[in-house]
Amino acid sequence: MFERIAILGTGLLGTSLGLALREAGFKGSIAGWNRSAEGGREALAMGAVDLIASDAISLARQSDVVVLCVPIYSTLDYMEKLASELTPQQLVTDVGSTKGQITDAAGRLFNTPERAAFLPGHPMAGKERGGASLGEAGLFRGAVWLFTDDPAWQRSPRGAELAANWRDWVVAIGSKPIDLDAERHDELVAWVSHLPQFTATALSSLLEDQVGDAPELKHVGGRALREMTRLGASPFSMWRDIAHTNTTAIEAALLALEQRLAYIRENLRTPALREEFERANAFRRE
């Protein structure tokens, strides 16, 4: 059904999405737009998009589906700008990591009989570093793709049909869609995504203070340390908007981990340590 897909933001996710759609057999046009010219050129050279447009709004106007692959506050900005420019024949979707504010904006700005449809989405895939050059067609394969749309506010005439079509493409590129309401989404990702990131950041930052001036000792930890600090390389620019738009849930998760670490610290020589290991083992059991 879709013939023209626009990808706004050809960073890691946008570039990977273009490559994945092509690999999955999408025959229409894929046009990109990117804030920096260099990132756009890179995505074009990699074959992720057929062209790079100079203006995001006019590109969106000419597309069947617009995929916002920019940070959360930019996504919210573009939602404001696009709402009055698009028609009920069009679908907008996104890949933002927190969904409360985006889902609210979707209900307020889209999904009316006169407006385009908006389907809030969040692929659970990424890397510790961003940028078009790290994009790959297989990034979304095997990953969960969360959706937080609410059929109750879906009143765009072709909304259901357009959304179903986008979900088919998400499946075609190898992802597994799961539906959640936005509040539950933001709470869940605070535990399974944001908490692991901030933990890796805290651990890496702490170790930089402890052994950062002794490079030979940074490598002593081997694979375990490498894995536990890999996400320490994640750039602030990717995580600032997440910290700002899911603050309460992240605070709760961080506090719970602080308490769990304190409990372990106070029980290094008691039988409670065995119970903590057994509970951790259970989490890893399939």
**Which 140-179 residues touch its own copies, going by CB under 8 A?**
143-144, 146, 178
Give, in order, the Cα–Cα distances in Å from 119 to each of 30, 55, 151, 217, 219: 19, 23, 10, 48, 45
Q: Which of 1, 24, 134, 203 binds its own copies (CB under 8 A)?
A: 203
Our finding on whether 27 is near its own copies (CB under 8 A) is: no
At its nearest, how many Å lie between its own copies and the CB of residue 214? 9
Residues numbered 88-117 forming contacts with its own copies, rule: CB under 8 A:
none
At its nearest, how many Å lie between its own copies and the CB of residue 248? 9
Among residues 160 and 188, whose Cβ is nearest to its own copies?
A: 188
Q: What is the dihedral of CA 25, 59, 99, 174, to 10 degrees?
A: 10
Our finding on whether 233 is near its own copies (CB under 8 A) is: yes
Our finding on whether 134 is near its own copies (CB under 8 A) is: no
Which window, 44-52, 58-66, 84-92, 218-226, contacts its own copies (CB under 8 A)? 218-226
Among residues 54 and 237, whose Cβ is nearest to its own copies?
A: 237
DSSP string, 120-167: -EEES---SS-SGGG--TTTTTT-EEEE---GGG--STTHHHHHHHHH
Our finding on whether 234 is near its own copies (CB under 8 A) is: yes
Q: Which of 135, 149, 197, 241 binds its own copies (CB under 8 A)?
A: 197
C-beta separation of 145 from 121 below 8 A:
yes
End-to-end CA distance of the chain, in Å?
A: 39
Q: Which of 126, 133, 163, 168 binds its own copies (CB under 8 A)?
A: 126
Q: Is 198 exposed, middle or buried (0-12, 13-18, 19+ CB in 10 A)?
A: buried
Beta bridge mates, 147 = 121, 179
Among residues 115 and 185, whose Cβ is nearest to its own copies?
A: 185
Q: Where are the beta strands (DSSP E) in the chain?
A: 4-8, 29-33, 51-52, 65-68, 91-94, 117-119, 121-123, 144-147, 176-179
Binding residue count for its own copies, defined by CB under 8 A: 82
Among residues 114 and 208, whose Cβ is nearest to its own copies?
A: 208
At its nearest, how many Å lie between its own copies and the CB of residue 39? 20
C-beta separation of 115 from 88 below 8 A:
yes
Distance, in Å, from the CA atom of 36 to the CA atom of 268, rounded to the nearest integer, reads 51
Beta bridge mates, 92 = 66, 118
At its nearest, how many Å lie between its own copies and the CB of residue 178? 7
Our finding on whether 213 is near its own copies (CB under 8 A) is: no
Count of CB atoms within 10 A of residue 4's CB? 16
At its nearest, how many Å lie between its own copies and the CB of residue 285? 8
Q: Which of 43, 90, 230, 241 binds its own copies (CB under 8 A)?
A: 230
Our finding on whether 224 is near its own copies (CB under 8 A) is: yes
Which window, 1-9, 75-83, 159-167, 266-274, contacts its own copies (CB under 8 A)? 266-274
Amino acid identity of residue 176, one-letter, is K
Our finding on whether 21 is near its own copies (CB under 8 A) is: no
